Amino acid sequence: MTEAANVNRELKNPGYEIFIGSVSMLSIVNLVLIYAVSDENLSQVLRAMNFLLSLILISDFTYRLLTAPAKGDYVFRQYGWADLLASLPVPQLKILRLFRLARVYRLQRHHGIKDIGRSLVKDRAGSALFSLLLLGILVLEFGSFEMLNIEEGAKGANITSASDSLWYVIVTISTVGYGDRYPVTTAGRVLGAVIIVVGVGIFGAFTGYLANFFLSPARKELATEVGTPGGARSKVAELQALLSQQQAATAEIERLLASPEA
């Protein structure tokens, strides 16, 4: 089997591969930030997000293992073992997530930027979904991180811990807005407004994606049915029958109205 065939078997949808590569890169950035940040509360935000990213990467490993044509090849020849170890929430193993970035490089090398772009445009709904998921993760992490950085030392602040900040961003980005946590500084309110606007956009687009996902099969079935010669004739016959029934009912009503009263 050629190298190109092996790569095609290993790689998934381009949008999915780019999403997983971005998540892996973000987790490595988080590892650097954890050692660079001296504030324990800010470090807890990064650790919480690393746990979430680890869940995503464990799910990716499970998905690849279940869909691999040859599970042994995936584990030993396609660096599945590195995927598994890198998915564990152990800081020393996160460097292995570079193997996932290598997949994105192989994707670009074997298919080219133009082919990848055409594939992303062709599967616009799937590409948009992965983009929204990545945007949501970025807003949750850096929105929580910066909100806590702004608010924790302010007078009268009620966002003073990692859990407060994460909770505020989650309920804000989901457009729920309980109001139990809120920024008290001007900078915090500006950041909160940005999070609200982005959250409305994310959930609006996600709702549109779900509507398209559930309605597309019905539209395709209707188009196929009407597009066939027999299907078109059947629809015309049904419409003619309904029109005849309506005309007969109208004529009967006119006859009753015109007849003399008993």
Does one domain contain both 26 and 86? yes
C-alpha span between 11 and 235 (Å, rounded)? 44
The two structure tokens encoding residue 103: 């997949």
Say whether 163 sits in a helix, a strand or coil: helix
Does one domain contain both 114 and 142? no
Does one domain contain both 1 and 117? yes
Query: Among candidates 35, 33, 30, which has minimal Cα distance to 51?
Result: 30
Q: At 255, which amino acid appears? A: R
The two structure tokens encoding residue 96: 């292995």
Instruction: Note whether residue 51 is domain-resident.
Output: yes
C-alpha span between 145 and 167 (Å, rounded)? 12
Q: How many helices (H) and strands (E) does the chain have?
A: 10, 0
C-alpha span between 235 and 227 (Å, rounded)? 11
Last residue of a domain, one of 62, 96, 122: 122
- Length in residues, the chain: 262
Does one domain contain both 85 and 199? no
Instruction: Note whether residue 259 is domain-resident.
Output: no
Last residue of a domain, one of 66, 97, 122: 122
Domain count, the chain: 2
Instruction: Note whether residue 66 is domain-resident.
Output: yes
C-alpha span between 57 and 17 (Å, rounded)? 12
Contact at 8 Å (CB) between 169 and 147? yes
Using only C-alpha atoms, what is the Rg of the chain?
Answer: 28
State pTM to two decimals: 0.72
Query: Among candidates 41, 57, 256, 240, which has minimal Cα distance to 149?
Result: 41
Does one domain contain both 101 and 4? yes
For residue 210, the domain's CATH number is 1.10.287.70
Domain range spanning residue 80? Answer: 1-122
- For 85, half-sphere exposure in the C-beta direction (CA atoms, 13 angstrom radius) is 13
Contact at 8 Å (CB) between 205 and 191? no
Please tell me what DSSP assigns to residue 78: S
Does one domain contain both 118 and 134? no
Distances (CA, A) of 59 to 32, 55, 156, 197: 24, 6, 41, 30
pLDDT tens, per residue, the chain with 262 residues: 444 554 555 566 778 888 888 888 898 888 888 888 888 999 999 999 988 988 998 898 888 888 888 778 777 777 778 778 877 777 777 777 777 777 777 766 766 677 777 777 777 777 888 888 899 999 999 999 999 999 998 898 899 999 999 999 999 988 787 788 889 999 999 999 999 999 888 888 877 777 777 776 555 555 555 555 555 566 677 777 888 887 777 777 777 667 665 4
